Amino acid sequence: MQQLGERRVGRHTTVSVCRDSTMARVLLSTVRSYTPKLSALQLPRSACAWKNTAKHFSTTHRQLSNYKYTEKHEWVAVDGNIGTIGITNYAQEALGDIVYAQLPEVDTQYEQMEECGALESVKAASELYCPVSGKVTEINAAVEDQPSLINKSCYEEGWLFKLELTVPSEIDELMDEAAYEKFLKESEE
């Protein structure tokens, strides 16, 4: 199994992200996380010793700390090697009522920042840009049928499409939630 990276992000927090697993193996033991408290395994920095001992679990509910943000108000939630893409609350408010969502086609490959679709609202077609490089694996048919889902629930049901990441390091360059909030405050000034 390939270990992508392991980082110490706080006094009691070590984050390890591994590929080749369909479920994210993320262990957090900090009080401020939004996830339920997991079995606290102290990891040695060098080895992935918990490979055999760690419990598998599936992240069925959205962990807000997993979301990464771009300056153009898109979010990416990474789950193993699959990234789910959507637009943020700021973007959906700015667009207004979305009347049609043109999503990318499945199995198409996109580079980072390449145009991959459009959202139409009040006669303005707003381009969708792919925040990370990858190949589209799934699109949200519910949003094709009912575009207002994006306005109502842009982080959950209003997700746009999923893709298989081809350059996972691009995720690290994106903003996390705190940085995005700061970015929003600075743009308002």
Partner 1 sequence: MALRKLASDALARGMLASEALVGKELSSIPKAWASTSAAVKVKNTKKTEDLKDAPKRTVFISQSSDVFSNLALEDWLYKNWSFERRNVLLLWRNSPCVVIGRHQNPQVEANLSYLESAGVPLARRGSGGGAVYHDHGNLNCTFFTTRDRYDRHTNLEMICRALHLDFGIQAHPNSRDDIILDHDHKVSGSAAKLGRNTAYHHCTLLVNTDRHQLKLTLNGDKSIKSKATASTPAHVMNLSEMKPGITVEQVLTSVGRAFLGHDQHLANGFTLVNPTDEWFPGLGELEAVLRSSRWLEGQTPRCTVTRCVPIPQGLLPHASNTSLAVTVQAYHGLVEEVRMEDDSGKEGVAELVQDIGAGLRGAPFTSDTFNIIAGRLRFSPALTHFPIPASARPIPTPTRSVI
Residue 137 engages partner 1 in binding (rule: CB under 8 A): no
Residue 34 engages partner 1 in binding (rule: CB under 8 A): no
Judged by beta carbon, residue 79 or residue 144, the one nearer partner 1 is: 144
Residue 100 engages partner 1 in binding (rule: CB under 8 A): yes
Judged by beta carbon, residue 35 or residue 126, the one nearer partner 1 is: 126
Residue 113 engages partner 1 in binding (rule: CB under 8 A): yes
Judged by beta carbon, residue 20 or residue 115, the one nearer partner 1 is: 115
Distance set, CA 88 to CA 31, 49, 72, 76, 174 (Å)? 26, 37, 9, 10, 14
Judged by beta carbon, residue 80 or residue 131, the one nearer partner 1 is: 131
Q: How far is the CB of 114 from partner 1 (least distance, A)?
A: 11
Among 15, 48, 82, 118, which residue interacts with partner 1 (rule: CB under 8 A)? 118
Which residues, other chains included, contact 106 with Cβ-Cβ below 8 Å and sequence gap of 6+? Answer: 136, 137, 138, 139
Q: How far is the CB of 113 from partner 1 (least distance, A)?
A: 8
Please provide residue 77's backbone torsions phi and psi, each rounded to the nearest 5 degrees: -115, 120
Residue 32 engages partner 1 in binding (rule: CB under 8 A): no
Residue 125 engages partner 1 in binding (rule: CB under 8 A): yes
Among 83, 147, 159, 162, which residue interacts with partner 1 (rule: CB under 8 A)? 147
Q: How far is the CB of 132 from partner 1 (least distance, A)?
A: 15
Please provide residue 157's backbone torsions phi and psi, each rounded to the nearest 5 degrees: -75, -20
Judged by the rule CB under 8 A, the positions of this chain that interact with partner 1 are 72, 99-100, 102, 113, 118, 120-127, 129, 144-145, 147
